[in-house]
Each structure stands twice: as C-alpha cells, then as structure tokens.
Structure 1
Amino acid sequence: MTTHTDVLIVGAGPTGLALGIDLARRGVDALVVEKADALFPGSRGKGIQPRTLEVFDDLGVIDAILAQGGAYPVGAVWKDGRKVGEHRMFEPSETDPDTPYGTPWMVPQWRTQEILSARLAELGATVAFGREVTGLAQDRDGVTVEFASGGPVRARYVVAADGGRSVVRRTLGIGMTGETVDPNPMLVADVRITGLDRDNVHVFPPHGDTGFLAVFPLAGTEDFQVVAQFPEGTAVDLTLDGIRETVAARTHLAPEAVTELRWASDFRPRAALADRFRAGRVFLAGDAAHVHSPAGGQGLNTSVQDAYNLGWKLGAVLREGAPESLLDTYEEERLPNAADMLGVSTGVHRGEVRRGRATQQLGLGYRNGSLSVDTRTGLPEDALRAGDRAPDRTLDGVRLFDAFRGPHWTLLALDTKPPAAVPAPVPVVAGPAVETYGTGLFLIRPDGYVGWAGSTQDGLARYADRLGLG
C-alpha cells in the first residue's frame, strides 16, 4: 500500500527534524523517515551558533536548548601533567539589543535531536524509523520513493536530509565537488572520564609524532567528548581499549581513567559542495548538500539554516497559494551561502580564520537574491538592507523577535505611515525609528530576513502579489 504525503523528508538528523517542525506548524502534511532504528546517538555537532539559537527560538525549542546545554568553558592547556595556560576557542562577544544570543551554546547533537524530536511530536508528527531508501522516481506531479522494507511513499516533494553519503543525492546523479581539508584522521568519542574537572576544555597539544587531543565536558551531561588527531594512514581504534590507550599516551591520565565508552567515530576532515541543491521535485539539505570540517562548528548550523529557508517556501507553495517558482530561490540563496560557510570552516581548521563573528552566522544574508527588493536610495554604507537578517529590538514595549515568531510575514512601519491596505496574513508593527533599522517600511520574511524595504509603500503591493500574499 502506498502512503501519500505532501513532503517526504529523508533523514531524522537536525536538518530533517527542524524542517519537519517548520512544515508541521504550517499545516503541511510531512513525513520524516530515517534509515536507522533510532536517533543519532553521538555528540558530534555540539556547537549551536547564535543565528541557529534564533531559529530555535522561532521553532519553539529555545528554552529546552538553553536549559539542557551550556556555554563553552575556557580551555586549559596541559603539559607534563600541569596546566600551563589558557585557550579561548572564540573571540569575545556579548549579547546586545540586536542579538539576544551572543555566544555559541554547547549541546550534544543527540540531545539537540531529542529536543527537536519532542517538538515535532508536540505538533502531531513523528519519525518513521527503519526506513531505508532504495530508489525514487519523479514525474510532473510528484515523487515515488521505494524502501527496503515497507510500502512506497508518494510525495509532492522530497527533501534529502540523509547526510554526506546521501542515497537520494546519488540516486539523482548529483555530483559533489570537494577537497580533503586534512589528510590526518580524527577520532571523536563520548566517554566517561575521572581525573578531569568539568570547568575547562582540556587541551593536550601534540608532541613527538602524536597529534593533539582535546577533552570537552559535554554540557548538561556527565559525559566528555574526546577529539584526537592521528598521523595520516593510521587506522583509528574505536574500541574502549583503543581510546584508553590514546588518552593515556597523550595525557597524564592512566588508561583506567576512561571508565566507559558511549559512542565513537572516526573521519577525515573534508569540504564538499553539491553541484545542485534541487532536481525537479527533490531538494538537498544539510550534509547531503554540503560537508564541512567540524573545526568551525558550521555543519549542523548551516544545515538548520537550509531547513529554515526551505520550510517557509514549501509551506507558501503548498498552503498559501504562492507560485511554484518560489522554490527556485532555495538553491539560489542557499548554495552560495553554503559555499561561503565551507570556506569559513576550512579556514578555521587551517588556522586562517578565528572563531567569532565569522562563525556565528549572524552576518549571512541574501542581498543579491531575487527575493530581496529595496526601493530606498542614498543609504549609508552600514544601513540595514533587503536580504539582511532582521535584528531584534524592543519597539514601544514589543520585542521584535516576539512579533516575528511564527510562520508569518511581518511588516514594520518605523516612523513611517503604514499602508492603508496590508495583505491579510501580515501583521503590522508600527512605532518610532529604531537604531539599526532607521526609518521606513520593512517586510520581514518568515525566516527572519528583510524581504522588501522602502521609504514609502510604493512597490510593496507588487512585491506581495508576486509571492501570493493576500
């Protein structure tokens, strides 16, 4: 028997779960399927960047993310069993009125996925586990996806969020262009360790022919994440005994200090970008579209941004009467953005880029995209423009992020008379000029970017009609 749905999401990682949440709150019938029998068990993508925290605020999970994670501790550098210095992973940054979440937040990936999965369930959707894709065929009306077990699924659209080895991407024949960032293999493992405090990230620099080793206390848990680099050609031992040997060889700890192994994996850092993010009715998102070195903490975060960009567009086409051509802007906006972030993550890995403003993703936007229309002239160089992230502020007692929260567009009228007629689903927030925004009309997209901006309403109605608003 064939199951029918509007959107089939392949992969229940952060990308697929975030997209499922966004579609569910828009009333879109979406099915998330996952090859494995359970959610991913490891801590790998543990760094949540400030822009992703803003997305999680909108998706309704920020309280759980903040409660079950923590800030990154200062690094303690060790030598010969003594702490000999400090290492700060990030350039100093502070929360300000524009940016409510000013610093990265550490949450083990498995916990992030648990939080997202719980939110998905709150919205009435679930994940179908044990569903391995074996093939797909699409026509002008939809896509039929076959599985190793269970009946096929017929969907109007499919989103491949099934990781760097994406079966869907390979089935479509979409290539990936990439490079090896570092030929030296890496170990990442979740363990229990005695003899190290939880107030620091513990950094053990390379010595002799061994690579570096770092031990992160995983916020909100009793676990530590061990990250270690090995010489090129090394076969990394992922057993408890192998990890004990590595830790003992590079630190002052005895092998038995590693008391438990909970999860382990090895990888070789690489960067790769899919040649396309769309083939007909199938879209690529997350690691299926771009693979990052973990050094910059950009992989999970760029992936969530993919979901956030695509979710409102699918919802608009499927539920709000927007033209199907709106979906073309997903690749137009996200492919160059992902390419830029690949450069950042590779630069961090190679020591060419410092973790800080460049890695927080707050400055990313879509100024050059076809959805970004600004009718103002003579703007100063630092002016907020169409395509930029819409900052937070408080306007006559109303927090803008509270006004933006939800699946809708929002019109800001700042020291400017609002139009007499506004598209029915678009609430208006009016008030005096606000620093960062200045004066004018700003139509804020559902994903928190300025879509249209003008000093007057001229051109606003035309822009709204183009997107099927009202």
Structure 2
Amino acid sequence: MLVVGAGPVGLSAALELSGRGVEVAVVDRAEGATLVRAGAMGHTPRVVEHFRRWGVLQSVRREWTFPPEWNQGIRLVTSLVGHELAPNRRPSFTGARVSSEEALRRPQSAVQQVFLRHLDQRGVRVVGGWRLTGLRQDADGVDAVFEDGRVVRARYVIGADGGRSAVRELVGIAREGERAREKRLRLIVRTGDIADRVGPAPSGTNIVFNERADGFLAAVSTRDWRVYAGPFPLHHEPSEAELLATAQAAFGFDLDLELVSATTFYHATRIAETFRAGRVLLAGDAAHVRTPGGNLGEGFGDVVNLGWKLAAVLADQAPESLLDSYDQERRRHNWRVADYALARSRRSQATLSAIRALGVPDDADLGSDAERRRAEIRALIGANRTGSDGVTFDERYDESSAIWYDDDPGAPWRADRYVDDPRPGHRAPNGLVDPYGDTLYDRVGDDFALLVLTEDRAVEHDFAAAAAARSLPLTVIHLTDPSARDLYGTGNFLIRPDQHVAWRGTVLPDGGAAAVLDRVVGARRAALAAAGGER
C-alpha cells in the first residue's frame, strides 16, 4: 500500500493500515516535514476516540508545546489583553466529566511528531523528496511514477497530498462546490518574552474582534502564535508589514513580532466528484477542502472509514466492491458538513460587519459609550453562537451499500444537535463498560463486534459461525447495564470496525448472519468465484 502525502492525514492512514497488518509506505514531495506552520490545533472528542484506538492518545497528550494551564477554554475578546465579549465556557477544576472523551488541543505539528515516532517504531517508511508525476493502473495494482524515474508498485494508492493533490489531478477527478470570493491567511508569528504584559499563564486560545484583527489568536508554543489576517481580494498579496500589523492588533499591545509562516486559505467548498478512481482513493484535503473548522478531523474520519475496508480487501475477507461504500459514505457526509461550515462562515462575516459598523472601542476606553457598544457587540456575538454537536458526533451514513438499514428513519441531521442514536448507519453510542475506565470502543477494538443486549443467544451463535466461515474477526460483547439497554434497547447490534452500526435486530433476516455479512462486507469471494464473478 502506498500513501502519497506525509501530512497528518497521510500519516494517520499509515497508522491505521499498519495497525491492521498492512505493509505500507508514505512518500511526500517535500524534503522534510514542515512543523512550524499554521495548522489545526483543536481536536474534537470524536478525533480523540481515534487517537485512543490508534494507541497514540497518551503520546499526543504528553506532546506539550506550551504549559497546559494556558488552555482556558476559547475566549472571545477584543484582544489578548482586552475585554471579554462573551462568557468563557471554561471547564471547572472540580467539574465532572460529561463524555467518555474530552476535546484536546495540540498543534498539528505536535500530532505529526507523535505519528512519525509511532510509525518509526513499527518500521513504516516515511520518505520525502518524492514528486509524483504519473499513475498507471491495471487489474492487479498501480504503478506510481516519480520525477526522478523511480516507479513504485502498490496494490492501492491513497492520495492524502492536500488541496492541490497531484494524485487527484493524475486520475482526472474534478471538484464541485462554490469557489472563494476572497482569501485569508493563517500566520505563525514569534514573540519575545511577553509575560510582563500577559502574565505567566495567558489564555492559549482566543477569538479576537477588533477594528484590525478578527479570528483566532492561539498559542502554538510559548513563543509562537497562530493569528488570522484578512480578508483580502483574491488578487491581493499583502506585505509582511501589513500582516504583522494585523497580528499586533490581535495581541492588543506593542511588541516585536517575527513572521514565521503564512498559509493562504479560503471560505469555499471544493469537494471531489468521487473519492475513488479504481485502485486510487482520496482522503483529507485531497478529497474535500472547505471553510476551516474541523477539517483535519474529517480527514481522520476518512482514514478510519477506509482503513478497515482496504485491510479486508487485501486479506481476501471482502471483494473490491466494498471500497465503493467509502465514496458513498464519506462524500455525502463531507457535503453535509461543508454546507454547514460555509453558512456559518457567512453568518460570522455578517456579524463582524455589524460589529465594525458599531465601532469596536479602544481597549483603554472605559467610558460609558464604550461600555454600551461593548454590550451591543456581546449581544451580536451571542445571537450568532450556535452549537455544533451534530457536526462533531452525528457522523451518520444514510445511503450506503455496506449498511443493512431498517424502517426507522429517525430524526433528520442537524449541525447544532446530537442525540445518541443506535440506528444502522450511525456512530454507535459509546460509554463505559466497566468501572475501571474501559469503554465500549475499547472492547470493539479494530474488528467487527456484536453487541448483545438480550438473553437469547441464537443470533450471537449464528454470527460467530458466519464470521468464522469467512475468517472475519468478531468480538461478542454482552451488555447488562440497564442504562445501556435504555439507550440501545434490547436485541443485537453489529458494529463495524469504524464504530458505526451496520445492522440491528432481535431475529436474523432470511439467509441469517451470512446474508448480513454479505451486505456489510460484500459477498464472499468463494461464492463470487463459483458464480463466475470477481476473483
């Protein structure tokens, strides 16, 4: 297996596949990793669930780049040293946990370092300086051709090489969606020692609203900060002085800043027309670029969905047609999230325009008029704030050939709302299965699982036999906790390796468990061969 692209999504694909026993290599056009740049920093509880299964969560937690006490929630402020514009939803020191996993903030560079170390321990090769120039597919594999004439033969190729993906272009996959009307830049700026102005434990994550700056001001290390600049016309190339002036406005006081990096991004939607072209598959920004906010998590979601399917095909546990469900599931999901993100962005820009029309008072102005305007600004921000629990957790697949659906349509998807839902196609509700910290997902692990919430074991026995007949690992989990039964109901639930419900029922359909597995994993190769189909 060849992965093109050594960013976080490409490295996570190598983690996912190597953890399933697949031989994999990663190549990148860059000579080395770019580890001091603006990238994702916030990781949702869903992403943390992936980190936990990959076995890297504790390593990511330990990869501090600034003291943990700098994480004080997300503050909405006029500047780093300015006025609060909304209540800070900061967790209490003594507050109870409300989720099996909590959100995590670590710079993208820290996550990459962890992934690279773990891949090195597994003997997975990650090399730079390999510029892809050609892809040739046949019935058995793909020849990847590189600029220096080297050719690598692989059964499949994953393109995780970013928004300007060479893989996507070489296989001729176009993109759909709305183009940007303007552009913005993510900056990394480096400070000196500013503790005398901000204290020894400043807020590491802030969203700034003032006359010059808006958007994130977030610590990447004790000296490096991410800050946004723009919007600018698409043709405009801002000077370094212009960018640093915006950054200084976000801090709210005079300080010397060094511009370390500047990365352009757009409020737009560009999604590949398909995520699969034969033996070539796209993941992460190569497949979908959209308005920022959770993009890296969606890339990890691609990897988790695709990894078990590729491993099953390579192990002759499933036909190649199973890979069609990757495009069916992930592309629809990404369109849903992209539409929400673009609408949210436009609401935010309208709010910012209204704020600036009011006039953001100078931080030093404590007069009555300034306080009145700040109160109006708080009201504008509060009116535009909505939840995003649906975006984080409601990763439902509702039009897939690899799900056995039932007749219950359930509630429609909403970006701002999530309720645990065990219907087929949904992420299986997670929770503790013992008082010592093990979760349902820990028990599911990397394989299929049958969740049993009934005393009747006939379905369990049939699934165990059907899985064994096709050498498909299956974990049987008995849950007797009354709260689990209140949530799931009674019966049996087949959970896929990506933690989605594939089937549920108290009795099996015609054809038994074998028929369910034929739907979820694909018809067995032996049966296909006997029928003269796929070898």
Look up the match of 1:244. Answer: 244
Q: Would you say the 8 A contact 2:186–2:262 is kept in 1?
A: yes
1:437 aligned to 2:488?
yes
- Once the two structures are TM-superposed, the CA of residue 286 in structure 1 deviates from its matched residue by 0.8
Query: Could you say if the C-alpha distance between residues 117 and 47 of structure 1 is closer, same or farther in structure 2, counting changes exceeding 3 Å?
Result: same
Are the counterparts in 1 of residues 63 and 114 from structure 2 also a CA contact under 8 Å?
A: no
Counterparts of 1:174-185 in structure 2, within 5 Å, are: 174-185=173-184
Tell me which of 22, 30, 34 is aligned to 1:28.
Answer: 22
Deviation readout 1:354-389 (Å, 9 max, x if unpaired)? 4633465211111332222145x6798675211111
Q: Does 1:303 find its partner at 2:284?
A: no
Q: Tell me the distance in 2 between the aligned counterparts of 1:343 and 1:119.
A: 35
Cα contact 1:244–1:255 (8 A) shared by 2: no
Instruction: Output the CA distance in 1 between the equivalents of 2:302 and 2:400.
Output: 15
Q: Which amino acid aligns with 1:17?
A: L
CA contact (8 A) 1:90 1:355 kept: no
For normalisation by structure 1, the TM-score amounts to: 0.86
| Pairing 1:271–2:300 present | no
Aligned equivalents of 1:340, 1:66: Cα separation in 2: 30
Determine helix, strand or coil for the equivalent of 1:461: helix
Does the 8 Å contact 2:40/2:108 carry over to 1?
yes
Q: Partners of 1:342 and 1:363 in 2: how far apart?
A: 14
Question: Which residue is equivalent to 1:403?
Answer: 443
Match of 1:286 in 2: 284
> C-alpha displacement at 1:58, in angstroms?
0.9
- TM-superposed CA distance for 1:191, in Å, is 2.4
Query: 2:319 touches 2:523 (CA, 8 Å); kept in 1?
Result: no
Q: Does 1:464 find its partner at 2:478?
A: no
Summarize the Cα distance change of 1:200–1:131 in structure 2 as closer, same or farther, 3 Å threshold.
closer
Q: Distance in 2 between matches of 1:77 and 1:151?
A: 53
> Are residues 380 and 449 of structure 1, via their aligned partners in 2, closer, same or farther at CA, if it must alter by over 3 Å?
closer
**Contact 1:76 / 1:200 at 8 angstroms: preserved in 2?**
no
Residue aligned with 1:372, SS: coil
TM-fit CA distance, 1:245: 3.2
> In the aligned structure 1, how far is the partner of 2:185 from the partner of 2:439?
44
Which residue of 2 is the match for residue 11 of structure 1?
A: 5
Distance in 2 separating the partners of 1:460 and 1:190: 57
The CA distance in 2 between the partners of 1:254 and 1:359, in whole Å, is 41
Query: Unaligned stretches of 5+ in structure 1?
Result: 1-6
Instruction: Letter of the 2:431 partner, please give it.
Output: R
Render the CA deviation track for 1:392-415: whole Å, top value 9, x for unaligned.
22335553122022x211111112
CA separation of 1:160/1:88 partners in 2, compared to 1, >3 Å: closer, same or farther? farther
Q: Which has the higher helix share?
A: 2
CA distance 1:334–1:89, shift in 2 (3 Å): farther
Equivalent residue pairs, number: 450
Share of identical aligned residues, percent?
32
Counterpart residue number, 2:203: 199
Whether contact under 8 Å (1:409, 1:444) holds in the other structure is yes
| C-alpha distance in structure 2 between counterparts of 1:129 and 1:246, whole Å | 34
1:88–1:339 Cα change, 3 Å: farther
Q: In 2, distance between residues paired with 1:272 and 1:351?
A: 20
Q: What is the TM-score of this pair, normalised by structure 2? A: 0.76
Q: Secondary structure at the match of 1:159?
A: strand
- 1:172: Cα distance to partner? 1.4
Q: What secondary structure is seen at the aligned counterpart in 2 of 1:83?
A: coil
Q: Is the 8 A contact 1:389 1:448 kept in 2?
A: yes
State the alpha-carbon separation in 1 of the partners of residues 264 and 410 from structure 2. Answer: 49
What do residues 231-266 of structure 1 show as CA deviations (whole Å, max 9, x unaligned)?
A: 4254223x4x5543333456542242x2x4433323
Indicate which of 333, 358, 372 corresponds to 2:329: 333
In structure 2, do the counterparts of structure 1 residues 403 and 469 end up closer, same or farther at CA, with 3 Å as the change threshold? farther
Q: Secondary structure of 2:73's partner?
A: coil
- Offset at residue 18 of structure 1 (A): 1.0
Does the aligned pair in 1 maintain the 2:184–2:228 contact within 8 Å? no
Q: Does 1:254 align with 2:254?
A: yes
Q: In the alignment, what sits opposite 1:4? A: none
Structure 2 residue aligned with 1:366, among 371, 382, 397?
A: 397
Instruction: Return the offset for 1:123.
Output: 2.3
SS at match of 2:58: helix
Equivalent residue for 2:422, pick from 384, 387, 411: 384
Match of 2:476 among 428, 433, 452: 428
Return 5+ residue gaps in structure 2 as ranges. 349-383, 412-418, 525-535
In structure 1, distance between residues paired with 2:153 and 2:86: 52
Q: Aligned residue for 1:3?
A: none
Cα–Cα, structure 1 residues 380 and 84, in superposed 2: closer, same or farther, change >3 Å?
closer
Per-residue CA deviations over 1:272-296 (Å, capped at 9, x if unaligned) read 11111111111111111110121xx
| Pair 408,386 (structure 1): closer, same or farther in 2 beyond 3 Å | same
Change in Cα spacing, 1:73 to 1:125, as seen in structure 2 (3 Å) is same
SS of match in other structure, 2:83: strand
1:293 touches 1:349 (CA, 8 Å); kept in 2?
yes
Name the structure 2 match of 1:453.
504
8 Å CA contact 1:410, 1:429 repeated in 2: yes
1:181 deviates by 4.4
Which residue in the other structure is 2:51 paired with?
Answer: 56
CA distance in 2 between partners of 1:281 and 1:247 (Å): 45
> 1:190, CA displacement in angstroms?
4.2
Deviates more, 1:445-454 or 1:84-93: 84-93
Maintained 8 Å contact 1:416/1:455? no
Give the equivalent residue in structure 2 for 1:161.
Answer: 160
SS at match of 1:100: coil
Shift of 1:15: 1.3
Q: Deviations over 1:143-169 (max 9, x none)?
A: 111111362101111111111101111
Query: Relative to structure 1, is the Cα distance of residues 49 and 354 closer, same or farther in structure 2, using a 3 angstrom cutoff?
Result: farther
**Aligned twin of 2:432:** 394
Change (3 A) 1:60 1:92: same
Deviation at 1:299, TM superposition (A): 1.2
Indicate the RMSD between aligned Cα atoms, in angstroms: 3.0
More strand by share: 1
